[in-house]
Structure formats: structure tokens, C-alpha cells
Structure 1
């Protein structure tokens, strides 16, 4: 068994801006020895009245520019694997239409990148798990129970991604799934969404992961007629991979991230782009 040398002291990031939260985690890795954080607890509380998560555009733009230069997927592409914000906009607030449109389109998403998407995508597992009530649509089950009766046990509001039957395999590398499950906690302040990752790639996927989870939470809050209050992400091992910490191409991104903490920044809520997902995260 391979043992990895790593710190086991938790790092807690609590911010009102998604870009600042991601930037703080990345800067922690860059400013300390080693390529990872274990564990990482990241919390974001900045959401507008429509449920959009607050971001600093300069950070997101710098990250997308670098990801494209490295021939990697953009933030929005990664976010789409967790919540298809563009399809939700097309559905115009009708969740039944959202689920139908996504299920109809999913074979096309798999065909676009069969190697990486053959095991599924996160939102697909949430709405088409393969077994269980509501034909495996875990989100519909949660919402129907929330809407249908008072005093529902709080543990009912959770949905699984990881499936031992499909995912306990002996492959040396497995891109999907890294996120294990999500839970939703209605509170007096609004809805809190919690996500749990065994591992996460900080540079390649984490920002898009956080955006997708925030959008998923906002969708559930909308359907529960609650404000979106907070997103918590717990990561067993957050890894800075597929780019060297000394790569000069990081300079503009690092500068944008550091600027968040030394001067006032212009923040805005997330807006969906017109990208189409091609790769699982």
C-alpha cells in the first residue's frame, strides 16, 4: 500500500465570495510546502436575492484563460456536470422540464466524450441513480418529501453519487466520481448545501465544482421556496495537480487571487455561459 506524505491538519476557508474562497485555498498550497491540503473545509455564504453565488470576475477570468491555454475545461463546463444551469434557464422554472431535457440530452453528453463520461456525470447520478424511489431521481424525492409533509427527518434530504456496485473497481485511476454525496439543510436563514469529496483537483476542477454545487443548492432552494444561505464543501484530499507550482503561466492568476485580499474588488453573482459539457469531473 502506498502512503502519501501530507499534512493532516485541517484548513478552514470561510468567505462570502466563491472566488476568494477558492483563491484562499489555492494560495495556501502555493505558500506552503507540498501539493495538497488534507482535509479542506470550504464554506461560502455570499448569495444574491436570486440565489446566484457572489464571485470576483477577475479571478474567474484569469482561471478560465489559463485553463483554456492548458487545453483544460472551463469553470462553466465543470460546473455543468454538477448542475446544468443553462438547461434550467431553458426550462424557465419548471423542474419537470429540467429533468426531462437533461435526461433526453444525456446520451449526447456521453457521446461527446465517451472515455471520460462513460461512467456518468454528477447531475445524472442525482436524477437517474438507477434505482430507488421516483425512478432514481433523488432530487425529486427530496423535494416531494419536503413539500408533502411536515416534520420530515433531516437525514432524508441527502443524495448519493458514489455507488459501491459501480464504483468500487480496482482501476489505478478513476476520474469519476470524486464527489460522494450532497445534503440539503433547510434553516431559518435559508438553505444550506453540503458536499463531500474524497479527493479534489484544486486547479483543474475545484472552482467549477464549487460553482456547480452552489447552482445546485440555489435550484433546490428555489424549489423549496427558501433563500440560498450557505455552501459547505468537505474535501478529504485537495490536490494541486496538472500544473507545477513554479509554472510562470500561473502568475496572472495568482496576482488576481492575491488582489482579492489586499484591495477592494468588484464582485458579481455567477452568470451562465453558453458552453456545453464534454468532460466529467
Structure 2
């Protein structure tokens, strides 16, 4: 396997584009398939020699700004952009995708065994299934998981281990702010919670760390009582910043409680 995967990716992508794809007029016979190096470099606003060194593997430390410019010049979609940044060993500075795909929404709708939802880095609830709506029904609004946890009084009773939950959320924000420093929604929610919640502000400024675990978490729902749930978080492929959260009930009373929670009162 070559040690110049970044250069190979750039060459392959350049070869797969035509001048018309990027708004260039093609005159005469071209000696290379796809775009010329100088055309990519000019479109990205960089020196042709620098771009050549990237392809040849003689330059291996492009800045996030350079990578963002190449992403635009090579017409990379979100998945390919993320791949480019990973090849360069750089955290993506792109903005998260806010729209949940119809396919993922349909999957959520058909998953009825336990709560499931999609969040962005700011912990906005972008999509929920019916069980998640029932699970979070004690809250006045189901909009942002961090806002619900820190600003709604019900969360202290709802989350049995509220201290761990709050620490985990702040740790998640800290990681997200590194990956998406330009995300305005993330900045807004951090500023809002820092102002509105002394506990959030203390955790945020103290750099308290929280190690993620797979241990079950306990909740108390006012309608069905105690619940023990584990959860898994999955990055949504092709949708930068989106995470699919799937809860799983512990065997026993929680399974029965979720069945009651998911059954309409008049059925």
C-alpha cells in the first residue's frame, strides 16, 4: 500500500472531472484526462508548485484552509470532504449538515422498540422516532438535549445520575467544538448555557473530563416509572456532524415499561 494516499486521492479526483464541471472552457486537444494541475491550483487559489507537491507526497501538512479550498475546487461532497481531511490528518472545519435524509427518517419511523433520535454537534434534536417522543414527553419541549438537561427542572428527577449525564454532555461539547469550531449553532448553545446555568459554566470552565462507558443509565419516567437503558452513538455517513442515538432497554421490567410507554392510552 502506498504511503501517499492523499496524493492518490487528489490525482484520482482531478482525473474524474472535466473542465465544464468546474466552469472552464476546453480548447483544443488535452494531453491529460480530467483537469490539469494548474487548473485545480488556480481554482483553489494556491500555487501550482504547492499543489504538485501535495500530489507527489512532498508536502504532507496542508492547512485546514487549503483543504477546504481543494474541497471546493474538486467539487467534493460532504463524505469526500471528510475523507480528504482524514487523509491529511486534519480535523474538518466544515459546518455540520442540519437536514436529516428521508431514508434515515424512514428508518427512525420504523424503529419502535426503543427511543432513537438524530442530533447535531449542538445537540439539537433533528429527528426523533415515536418512542423518543414518548420517552422525553415529561419535558415541555423536545428541542435540544443539553438545554433540556441543564435548564429544565424535570431533568433532575428524570436522569437518576444527573451528575454523570451533565459531565458527559459538556465533554461532548468540548470534543465537538474542536471538530466544528466554526459552527454557529454550537457556539450559541454553549454561550446560552454558560450564561443560564451555573453548573454548566462551572463544568465548561473547569475542563472536567468524563469517560464514556457502556453501563446502563437509569431514568424515571412519570408515566411508567424506572427505566434502565444502554445507548449507542453512530456517526451518520455522508452527513457531517450528525449522530444517530439508539437506546436499548435492559431485559426485564424496562422492556415492559417501554411497551406501555409506546401504547396509546385509548388502545
- What range is the shorter-chain TM-score in? under 0.3
Q: TM-score, normalised by structure 2?
A: 0.24
Hey, which of these two has a bigger chunk of strand by percent? 1
Larger relative contact order (Cα-Cα within 8 Å, sequence gap ≥ 6): 1
